[in-house]
Amino acid sequence: MAERTTDGDDRVAAREGGSSVVHSKAADRPAGTDLSIAVVEAVAEAKGVAPTEMEETLYDAVDPDALDRLFTDRETGELAGRVVFELEAHEVTVQSNGDVLVRQTGPR
């Protein structure tokens, strides 16, 4: 399950359509969930739409298969790093531990 917050926890900005942040923690997702699926679900959550209603596909920004393979050995904690890209006017950060952070960068 993704956690929805706002930049600076500014509830006024959130009410007025301000920038939102969605944090999808790997520990909160079912085991074996592909990173590509987690990214699509988190971006859809940030946009307030169903994943099937998104205008762009993940493939428009990054190769989903490559993303899934990038941090395949997350459990050992030996890999460190992140991938950052934009999708649907949102900055998506995928951490090596499987966490996904989505921040709005443009208009809704």
Output the average pLDDT for the chain: 80
Q: Would you state the pLDDT for residue 108?
A: 62
16-48, pLDDT tens digit by residue? 344 478 999 999 999 889 999 999 999 999 999
Q: How confident is the model at residue 79 (pLDDT cuts 50, 70, 90)?
A: low
Q: b/e per residue, 78-99, with b = 16+ CB within 10 A?
A: eeeeebeeebbebebebbbebb
Q: Percent of the chain, pLDDT > 90? A: 56
Task: Please tell me the distance from the alpha carbon of residue 88 to that of residue 68, in angstroms, as a whole number.
Answer: 20
pTM of the predicted structure, to 2 decimals: 0.77
